[in-house]
């Protein structure tokens, strides 16, 4: 009834990798491009360092080290999926610096990826960064173009 009295807070997700931010609709995987897993953007990385995009807790480090789930301090769930079909590499070319349940701050190092190996083996480098519980946010905004890891805002939203 008194929703107008609620204080809205504005939050930001920064790029986990250096590179170009593209719309999620351009990702070469239907599960992402059709927003089956959530909504967001994708990074086409120029380097292999992966940083935490928000303050929060690591909810999941996939066994193959190609994807990371982070639950932000405000309850928003972020999925970083490095490359397309890279699960097939079974961890080859990936190194993780975090574990399940670990607290992270925006900009903390979470992984290193050998992007030259991914290219050599023919994998797309497109790295979706999505909010998997998108219904929990209001007014999501997506920011495209060149991004610096740990600094450039790629998704903004209200809660």
Strand ranges, E, within 18-89? 19-23, 39-45, 49-51, 56-61, 67-72, 77-81
Active site residue 81: yes
Q: Provide the residue-wise pLDDT of the chain in tens; the chain has 159 residues.
A: 455 555 668 999 999 999 999 999 999 999 999 999 999 999 999 999 999 999 999 999 999 999 999 999 999 999 999 999 999 999 999 999 999 999 999 999 999 999 999 999 999 999 999 999 999 999 999 999 999 999 999 999 998
CA distance 19 to 40: 15
CA distance 44 to 20: 5
Q: What are residue 57's DSSP bridge partners? A: 71, 103
pLDDT for res 144: 97
CA distance 75 to 56: 8
Q: What are phi and psi of 7, to 5 degrees?
A: -85, 120
Q: Are 28 and 124 within 8 A, CB to CB? A: yes
If one looks up domain 7-158 in CATH, what number appears? 2.70.70.10
135: three-class secondary structure by DSSP: helix
Torsion of CA 13, 24, 57, 64, to 10 degrees: -140
pLDDT for res 6: 59
Q: Are 82 and 67 within 8 A, CB to CB? A: yes
pLDDT for res 90: 97
Domains of the chain, by residue range, sit at 7-158
Name the active-site residue from 10, 66, 81, 143: 81
pLDDT for res 4: 54
Lookup: tokens for 157: 């939203």
């Amino acid at each position: 009834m008194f929703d107008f009295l609620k204080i809205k807070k504005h939050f930001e997700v920064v790029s986990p990798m250096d590179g170009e931010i593209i719309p999620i609709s351009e990702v070469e995987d239907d599960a992402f491009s059709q927003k089956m897993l959530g909504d967001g953007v994708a990074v086409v990385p120029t380097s292999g360092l992966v940083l935490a995009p928000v303050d929060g807790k690591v909810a999941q480090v996939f066994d193959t080290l190609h994807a990371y789930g982070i639950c932000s301090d405000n309850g928003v769930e972020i999925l970083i999926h490095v490359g397309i079909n890279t699960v097939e590499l079974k961890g080859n070319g990936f190194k993780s610096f975090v574990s399940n349940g670990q607290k992270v701050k925006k900009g903390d190092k979470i992984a290193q990826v050998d992007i030259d190996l991914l290219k050599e083996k023919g994998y797309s480098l497109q790295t979706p960064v999505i909010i998997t519980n998108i219904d929990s946010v209001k007014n999501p905004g997506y920011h495209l173009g060149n991004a610096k890891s740990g600094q450039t805002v790629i998704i903004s939203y209200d809660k």
